[in-house]
Amino acid sequence: DIQMTQSPSALSASVGDRVTITCRASQSINSFLHWYQQKPGKAPKLLIYAASSLQSGVPSRFSGSGSGTDFTLTISSLQPEDFATYYCQQSHSTLYSFGQGTKLEIK
Amino acid sequence: QVQLVESGGGVVPPGRSLRLSCAASEFTFSTYAMHWVRQAPGKGLEWVAVISDDGTNKYYADSVKGRFTISRDNSKNTLYVQMNSLRVEDTAVYYCVREGFTMVRGVEVWYLDLWGRGTLVTVSS
């Protein structure tokens, strides 16, 4: 099974900050890496697919990069609505797996 | 609008069974693979199972293999999961999720592009 590890697990930041979240796979997953945002009490929402493609309707301040085993999600200028939990997920293996999540909190 | 709506959650004692349903609307259900993903209270996301668009291929997480069965009825635009021998650790919100795909340098890449709101399953005596 492919293990996904995110860092940090939690992050405090201010509106306007640039934030980067990392995700590492236990083996190469090429570009089969996706990012989701989840707000309390809500279903996750797809932000980035195939490592760097922005889902329709997602603001351009979100961006993704990486390939192989190391990936990043960057928010260029945090907005109040961006405070949420973020998950990475791999689809290289038939058995999908998620990172443990990164909770982004207001400083 | 395009949506997935789960139903069937509730409180059930350990060892019993429950079947969840997911009704799909406003998209061609029969052309998409579908997944179940769960989230225990206060925890992260856990992938549970997937079924191919025609129902012939099914895969499960080790934590549910042999106890859960994913199925679909394309004539009814509905996805199911039959959960048997339920355990306390199966307590979670269960999400029904559609799989989308794109081509990257000639390779199909699959991702989870449409999520339902979820249904809560509580396993407790």
pLDDT at position A34, please?
Answer: 98
Sequence letter at residue B115: W
- Cα separation, A73 vs A77, in Å, equals 13
For the four alpha carbons of B121, B36, B66 and A1, in that order, the dihedral sign comes to: negative
Residue A55 DSSP one-character state: P
The two three-digit tokens of residue B44, written as one number: 């992260």
pLDDT at position A48, please?
Answer: 97
Is the CB of A101 inside 8 Å of chain B's CB atoms? yes
Give the distance between the most distant pair of CA atoms in chain B: 52
Residues of A in contact with B118 (CB under 8 A): 43
pLDDT at position B104, please?
Answer: 84
pLDDT over threshold 90, residue B107: no
Q: How many CB atoms lie within 10 A of CB B31?
A: 9
- Cα separation, A68 vs B61, in Å, equals 23
pLDDT at position B13, please?
Answer: 97
Q: Give the model confidence (pLDDT) of A21-60 as tens digits.
A: 999 999 999 999 999 999 999 999 999 999 999 999 999 9
Q: Give the model confidence (pLDDT) of B71-94 as tens digits.
A: 999 999 999 999 999 999 999 999
Residue A92 DSSP one-character state: S
Closest CA to A36 of A107, A106, A96, A77: A96
What pLDDT band is residue B43 in, cutting at 50, 70 and 90?
Answer: very high
To test the contact with chain B by mutation, choose from A5, A49, A97 the residue with the greatest count of B C-beta atoms within 10 A, namely A49
CA angle B25, A88, A101 (to 5 degrees): 105
> What is the interface size between A and B, counted as CB pairs within 8 Å?
65
With contact defined as beta carbons under 8 Å apart, do B82 and B22 qualify? no
pLDDT at position B99, please?
Answer: 97
What's the average model confidence in pLDDT over B13-23?
A: 98
Q: How high does pLDDT run on average in chain B?
A: 97
The distance of A83 to chain B (nearest Cα, Å) reads 16
Closest CA to B95 of B75, B125, B115, B73: B115
What pLDDT band is residue A107 in, cutting at 50, 70 and 90?
Answer: confident
pLDDT at position B105, please?
Answer: 84
- Cα separation, B121 vs A107, in Å, equals 34
Residues of A in contact with B116 (CB under 8 A): 43
Which among A31, A100, A101 is the nearest to B109, CB-wise? A31
